[in-house]
Amino acid sequence: MNIIKSNGKRQAEHFERKKLHTSIVAVCLSVSTPDGQAETTAHTVCDAVVAWLQTHPEVTSHDIRTIAAKHLKIYNPEAAYLYEQHHITI
């Protein structure tokens, strides 16, 4: 599974579930979600993203963020909002 970096300048890289999981856990903790709930949410969102990736062999990192945010919104809307805002805050 190749992830093409959004700006196209860096090399494509393999999808790392752990990286996505860590970022989802971090954003959940940022909005004061309890540790256990953050882990469960991250696990569920990662499963949904991996399932989506089965039908899309080559995607951009932006696509991954969009799909992750879409699923995260179901379980934790505030965390999803902050996740979407990360690259558009500064």
Binding site for another protein (CB under 8 A): 25-27, 29-32, 35, 78-79, 81-82, 84-90
User: 1 vs 26, which CB is nearer to another protein?
Assistant: 26
| Closer of 54 and 89 to another protein (Cβ) | 89
What is the rounded CA–CA span in Å between residue 40 and residue 90? 30
Q: How far is the CB of 33 from another protein (least distance, A)?
A: 10
Q: In angstroms, give the least distance from the CB of 78 to another protein.
A: 4
Residue 65 corresponds to which amino acid? R
Residue 56: CB minimum distance to another protein, A? 24
Q: How far is the CB of 41 from another protein (least distance, A)?
A: 13
User: Position 59: which residue type?
Assistant: V
Q: Which two tokens stand for residue 81?
A: 């909002």
Dihedral angle sign, alpha carbons of residues 84, 42, 39, 44:
positive
Distance CA 68, CA 16 (A): 13
Residue 12 or 29 having the CB closest to another protein? 29
Phi, psi of 9 (to 5 degrees): -90, -35
